[in-house]
A and B are shown apart, each in its own frame.
Chain A
Amino acid sequence: MNLEKVVFGFFILLAATLNFGFVYGDIATPEHHDAYELFAVVVVNLIAAVLKFGDRTQIGAVHLATSLVAVLQLVAATLVWFYAVNVSPDGMTAGKLAGIVSLSAGALFANVVSVVLLVIETVMLRR
């Protein structure tokens, strides 16, 4: 058993599951989408992205790309959240929340691709 693989798989899967947890629920209901959870998603995704640095294989490159996409989407979502809470005069509205959730749903898709890649890699190795 390789500890590096455990950590790697852990963070990738955690990024996907947290992301799913945040997105899950009605898209415009504030009670279904927690700020702490979004924060955790961002942090775990950042770590997952950093863990993917430096792998020069083709699959490693695609891994990194999916993570970068996810981070980009999540950063956009947090910026919208920031705008809604701190800048916008009418605060968090259903429309803005829907935007945040759909952005992080996009990140979820990237994370799922990441998990699929992880599974493919594991199947290919068969060790």
Chain B
Amino acid sequence: MTSVLFLALRRLRLPIILLIAVYSIGVIGLVLIPGVDAQGRTWQMSFFHAFYFLSYTASTIGFGELPRPFSDAQRLWVTGIIYLSVVGWAYFLGSLLALVQDRGFRLALVTQRFEREVRGLSESFYVVCGYGETGSLICRALDRMGLQFVVLDIDGTRIDEVDLQGYARDTPAIVGDARVVENLVRAGITHRACRGVMAITSDDQANLAVAIAVKLLNPRTPVLCRAMSRDVAKNMASFGTDHIINPFQRFGEHLWLALHAPAVYRLISRLTGLPGTTLTAETTPPHGHWIVCGYGRFGREVIGCFDREGLEATVIDPEPQTEVGRRVVRGYGTEGGPLREAGVETAVGIVAGTDNDVNNLSIAVTAREINPKLFVVLRQNLEANRPLFGAFSADITMVSAEIVAYQSLSIVATPLLARFLGMAGTQDEPWASLLVARLEEVAGPVVAATWGVDINAAAAPAIHRVLMFEKNDVTLDALLRDPTLRVREIACVPLLLVRDGAEVLMPDAKTPLKAGDRLLFAGTNAARDLQRMTLRNVHARDYVILGRDRPAGWIWQWLSRRNDDAASTAGR
């Protein structure tokens, strides 16, 4: 508050001094000029009365002539003073209004409010740098998950959108360049409740700057970065950026996985994504001859994926770099000529991967007309074109904003998921199809919710207590049962158990739990809520483990303990 107050005071210095001067002149005059009362005696105003009179006159309230009617000499003086004081007040108010409307002053106010809001955040939060398509997707999902976040973006209109979006929580948002460290600190990267920073601006260099700043100023805070080029990604990795997402590279990997191990691909798409979104009918890209339109950063990744799988691919590009051993056709691919030349009649699939959405659609439509059986992979650059891409219904649509957003979310919300996905990528097909079937059975044909459970005093007090103090064995099975009716199983699948750094994939229900275990589950949100009851409520826990309700009050507990003792002595 102080800096804005001082700024205001400095700007208002002259008007305030003018007011003081007018008031003091007026008061002096009134005190010095004698008045005459009804009996003809002279009287003089005291300082107090002069100040009182001037206060109500100068502010145009005007109670009249107090404490007695004035003499003409006094009235003459007052006339002058009225004009002087009105000018003084007008000048003061004018300066005040000008100050309030001043851009710099308002910026100072906004910045200060933002700083106060961020400083006042008590629950853990994320800093999102860049509120573009990816950023807004992430923020919406974070909001739905009930997580707090702070937004920083260089564009003022985007920051206005944050307010219009109507998030469930108050979201501090500010206009600022993420490359400027001061802005990052203001946004709270050094705040003790900051749980992570996401650098997802469209500028690789800015993301890099954010990553370096966070790693130097607050090394323990995880940073997640979007990198469009491999060089920047390498640079980020060199100083320990925790997660780097290159959407093109990720898509290349996914496409390769879809070609190479369809079941694993289906598993991954079932676990990453916005929970609850319906999965489209899963199609496996065919093996054979492919055509790739556009040989930029995206095209290179796609070609890399075909090379890895040993598939033949022809490139169509207006300015192709000559590369050995690959057929290259010059052109845009939007007309039939270059497509036919590239062999569209005999090809099994086409990738429309230029950086122009209209061209991509045009390529896809033309190619399908020539060869209706083509498998079409379509790259969508702008979120605004979604209706067009929805109408075309390609076999795979690649939206880089979505890839970055969903990857970031799954990493942020459930850190174990990244570990699980890494392990799942190396599993064989039958294992993956089995798990996909389990997930389908549990959560239906939608993206399953995933959540981590830490068996510690904060996240799972009831279970932790029984493990630490009551020394009873609890198996994983307890977390898979419905705390309202224990014979029923809840809709979730345990995916991963991490104990002392060692990972157990798909842990068995009979596994005994230990304090400090970290678990990853996939299933429905309803199942998650039920499980949370077992984790936190001692009565729900006892019911699930022992199958009976535990008396809640001290007296009933004492009575039941007596009964237990009696039963055990009788049994002996």
Question: Which A residues lie at the B interface, using CB under 8 A?
Answer: 35-36, 39, 43, 46-47, 50-51, 53-54, 56, 78, 81-82, 85-86
Contacts and interface: CB of A to CB of B under 8 A. Distances in A.
Contacts, number: 44
A40 to B, nearest CB: 8
B27 interface: yes
Contact of B27 (A39, A53, A54, A82): A39
A6 B99 CA distance: 27
13 contacts: A35-B47, A36-B28, A39-B24, A39-B27, A39-B28, A39-B47, A46-B20, A50-B9, A53-B9, A53-B12, A54-B7, A54-B13, A82-B48
A85 B46 contact: yes
Contacts of A82: 47-48
A54 to B, nearest CB: 3
A86 B48 contact: yes
B85 to A, nearest CB: 15
The 6 closest A-B pairs by CB, nearest first: A54-B10, A53-B9, A43-B24, A50-B16, A82-B48, A46-B20
Contacts of A46: 20
A123 to B, nearest CB: 25
B17 interface: yes
B6 interface: yes
Contact of B6 (A39, A47, A54): A54
Contacts of B17: 47, 50-51
Q: Is the interface of A mostly helix, strand, loop or mixed?
A: helix
A107 to B, nearest CB: 17
Contacts of A51: 13, 17
A13 B6 CA distance: 24
Interface in B17-57: 17, 20-21, 23-24, 27-28, 31, 46-48
B311 to A, nearest CB: 67
A85 B48 contact: yes
A26 B200 CA distance: 75
B30 to A, nearest CB: 11
Contact of A54 (B9, B31, B46): B9
The size class of the interface chain B forms with chain A is 20 to 34
A30 B7 CA distance: 43
A86 B20 contact: no
A35 B48 CA distance: 11
B387 to A, nearest CB: 54
A47 B6 CA distance: 16
Contact of B13 (A35, A53, A78): A53
Interface in B48-103: 48
Given A39-B47, A43-B24, A85-B48, A56 B16 contact: no
A53 B24 contact: no
Contacts of A50: 9, 13, 16-17, 20
Given A46-B20, A50-B17, A56 B6 contact: yes
Nearest to B49: A86
Contacts of A35: 47
Given A39-B47, A50-B13, A82-B48, 6 more contacts: A36-B28, A47-B17, A50-B17, A51-B17, A53-B6, A86-B46
A43 B47 CA distance: 12
Nearest to B32: A36
Nearest to A60: B6
Contacts of B16: 50, 53
A54 B14 CA distance: 12
Contacts of A39: 24, 27-28, 31, 47
A35 B23 CA distance: 16
Contacts of A85: 46, 48
Contacts of B20: 43, 46-47, 50
Nearest to B24: A43
Contacts of B46: 85-86
A54 B16 CA distance: 13
A51 B16 CA distance: 9
A121 B284 CA distance: 80
A85 B7 CA distance: 40
A47 B24 CA distance: 11
A85 B49 CA distance: 11
A56 B4 CA distance: 11
A54 B2 CA distance: 10
A64 B136 CA distance: 47
Nearest to B7: A54
A101 B119 CA distance: 46
Contacts of B31: 36, 39
A86 B66 CA distance: 14
B360 to A, nearest CB: 56
A68 to B, nearest CB: 12
Contacts of A56: 3, 6
Interface in B204-238: none
A7 B13 CA distance: 13
Given A39-B24, A43-B20, A46-B20, A53 B10 contact: yes
A43 B31 CA distance: 15
A56 to B, nearest CB: 6
Contacts of B48: 82, 85-86
